[in-house]
A and B are shown apart, each in its own frame.
Chain A
Amino acid sequence: MIAALRALFGKADAPAVAAPPEAPEAPARQLALVIDLNVCVGCHACVTSCKEWNTGGAAGPLVDENAYGADPTGTFFNRVQTYEAGVFPNTETVHFPKSCLHCEDPPCVPVCPTGASYKRKSDGIVLVDYDKCIGCKYCAWACPYGARELDEARQVMTKCTLCVDRIEDTTLAPDDRKPACVKACPTGARLFGDVKDPDSEVARAIRERGGYSLMPEWDTRPANQYLPRRVTTPPQR
Chain B
Amino acid sequence: MNPAFSVVVFTTAAGAGQGLVVALAIALLAGVPMTPSFVRASLLVAIFLLVAGLVSSFLHLGRPARAWRAAAMWRTSWLSREVIVLPAFIVVVGLWWLAARDPGSAPARLVLPLAAIAGAALLWYCTAMIYACLRFIEEWAQPLTIVNFVLLGVSSGSVLASALAALAGEERALTLAVWLALLVTLVAWPSRTAAWRRNATLRHRSTLQSATGIRSARLAQTSMGMSAGSFNTREFFHRASVSALGRIKGIAIVLAFALPALAMAGVAAGVLPGIACVVAFVVQVPGLIADRWLFFAQAKHPQNLYYQVVS
- Please state if A144 and B79 are interface contacts (CB–CB under 8 Å): no
Secondary structure at the A interface, as helix, strand, loop or mixed, is loop
* Chain B, Cβ-Cβ closest to A146: B303
- Please state if B222 and A144 are interface contacts (CB–CB under 8 Å): no
- Please state if B302 and A17 are interface contacts (CB–CB under 8 Å): no
Give me 6 other A-B pairs in contact (C-beta within 8 A), A73-B229, A134-B70 excluded. Answer: A9-B143, A98-B225, A114-B70, A136-B61, A144-B301, A214-B210
Q: What residues on A are CB-neighbors of B134 within 8 Å?
A: 107, 111, 141-142
Q: What residues on A are CB-neighbors of B225 within 8 Å?
A: 44, 47, 79-82, 98
Known: A85-B216, A146-B306. A71 touches B73 (CB 8 A): no
- Please state if B78 and A111 are interface contacts (CB–CB under 8 Å): yes
Interface size class of A (residues with CB under 8 A): 35 or more
Complex Cα–Cα for A140 and B229 (A): 16
Question: Closest CB of chain A to B309's CB: distance in Å?
Answer: 9
Per-residue 0/1 for A92-128: is the Cβ within 8 Å of any B Cβ (1 yes, 0 no)?
A: 1110101000000001001111111000000000000
Interface size class of B (residues with CB under 8 A): 35 or more
* Chain B, Cβ-Cβ closest to A85: B216
Q: Which residues in B have some Cβ–Cβ distance to A below 8 Å?
A: 1, 60-64, 66-67, 69-73, 76-80, 83, 125, 129-130, 132-138, 140-143, 145-146, 205-206, 208, 210-216, 218-232, 235-236, 301-304, 306-307
- Please state if A73 and B230 are interface contacts (CB–CB under 8 Å): yes
Question: Closest CB of chain B to A20's CB: distance in Å?
Answer: 9
Chain A to chain B contacts (Cβ below 8 Å), 8 pairs: A16-B133, A17-B132, A66-B228, A82-B222, A141-B134, A146-B306, A213-B213, A214-B211
Q: Which residues in A have some Cβ–Cβ distance to B below 8 Å?
A: 1, 4, 8-9, 12-13, 15-17, 37, 44, 47, 66, 71-76, 79-87, 92-94, 96, 98, 107, 110-116, 132-138, 140-146, 148-150, 152, 154-156, 212-218, 226, 228-229
- Please state if B226 and A134 are interface contacts (CB–CB under 8 Å): no
Complex Cα–Cα for A51 and B157 (A): 50
Q: What residues on A are CB-neighbors of B63 within 8 Å?
A: 133-135, 155-156
List the 5 closest A-B pairs by CB distance, nearest first. Answer: A135-B62, A155-B62, A146-B303, A85-B216, A16-B132
Please pick, from B222, B229, B235, the residue contacting A84 in the complex, using a CB distance under 8 A. B222
Known: A81-B221, A136-B60, A155-B63. A149 touches B136 (CB 8 A): no
Known: A72-B228, A114-B72. A94 touches B62 (CB 8 A): no
Known: A84-B220, A135-B62. A140 touches B231 (CB 8 A): yes
Please pick, from A8, A47, A73, A83, the residue contacting B212 in the complex, using a CB distance under 8 A. A83
